[in-house]
Amino acid sequence: MHKDIATPVRTREILDKYGFSFKKSLGQNFLIDTNILNRIVDHANLTESSAAIEVGPGIGALTEQLARRSKKVMAFEIDQRLLPILADTLSPYPNVKVIHQDILKADVRKYIDEELTGIDDIMVVANLPYYVTTPILMKLLEEKLPIRGIVGMLQKEVADRLAAKPGTKEYGSLSIAVQYYTVAETVMIVPKTVFIPQPNVDSAVIRLTVREKPAVIVKDEAFFFQVTRASFAQRRKTILNNLTSQLPNGKQNKEQIISALKEVGIVESRRGETLSIEEFGRLSDALYPIFN
């Protein structure tokens, strides 16, 4: 068994050996607690026949734990300076493939086809860079990749928004977008003390399990998301005000919006954050013929 990468001493040794300095712009915070890493991997429920996709492996702390517990790990790293470090720290693990690419620009499906052939169970497991968490999650979900789900470490307040229920202040169009594709649950809270450098915020690990079919079946997915975004544009405003001000030609179509709300039994004075995903589904279907 090789010495774990994720200890304060070993991490320092590796960083010093390569003269590595953290780039704030890349949101680099490395985990230095093996117990926490193991618990993150536990939540992914991997087996010897699973594959893991990692985003931002850093110096390989989480990658190593994933490699020990899955058939193959494919890790996307944007920072060229980390490539020689990863080649060194992950040399004991032939089942790891590091891809030097920005995950947001990468054709992930193509890499899955090439690198993870014949593997049916694929999980994304990552300590996500905080400044691009949402775009990364949305890309992975919108591309409808053949993955079972995502276990991601992210800022606690973002995790709260992803798993939020209607009627709470955290609930918004992001909650709906994520819960449309997945079942979202916060599985652990992580203190800032287990990272170097220490971030200024607490973190949480969220598990998103991809649904076999979306939470609601709608006439037009893009329009459904447009309606949910419009409904939260100004949180203090009623659903009617938001829809009339945010949808194209909403003001001209105000009477039709009112009758669509009536038709699906939504009182026009309600606020967006009180509507469930099912109500948004019915509402967007009722509005669809007006705006398309």
In the annotated binding site, the residues are: 29, 31, 56, 77, 102, 127
The C-alpha atoms of residue 41 and residue 63 are separated, in whole angstroms, by: 10
Backbone phi and psi for residue 194, each to the nearest 5 degrees, phi listed first: -95, 15
The C-alpha atoms of residue 161 and residue 273 are separated, in whole angstroms, by: 12
Q: Name the residue type at position 263.
A: E
Task: Report helix, strand or coil for 213.
Answer: coil
The C-alpha atoms of residue 38 and residue 194 are separated, in whole angstroms, by: 13
92 Cα distance to chain centroid: 29
245's tokens: 């001000």
Which residue positions form the known binding site for S-adenosyl-L-methionine? Answer: 29, 31, 56, 77, 102, 127
The C-alpha atoms of residue 164 and residue 112 are separated, in whole angstroms, by: 31
Tell me the CA distances in angstroms from 198 to 34, 123, 161, 201, 241, one per residue in order.
Answer: 16, 27, 22, 8, 43
Report strand pairing: 30-31 vs 195-196: antiparallel
269's tokens: 């004075």
Contact 28, 21 (CB under 8 A): no
What are the residues whose beta carbons fall under 8 Å from the beta carbon of 83, sequence distance 6 or more? Answer: 77, 98, 100
CA nearest neighbour of 60 among 124, 10, 25: 10
What are the residues whose beta carbons fall under 8 Å from the beta carbon of 238, sequence distance 6 or more? Answer: 268, 269, 270, 271
Task: Report helix, strand or coil for 266.
Answer: coil
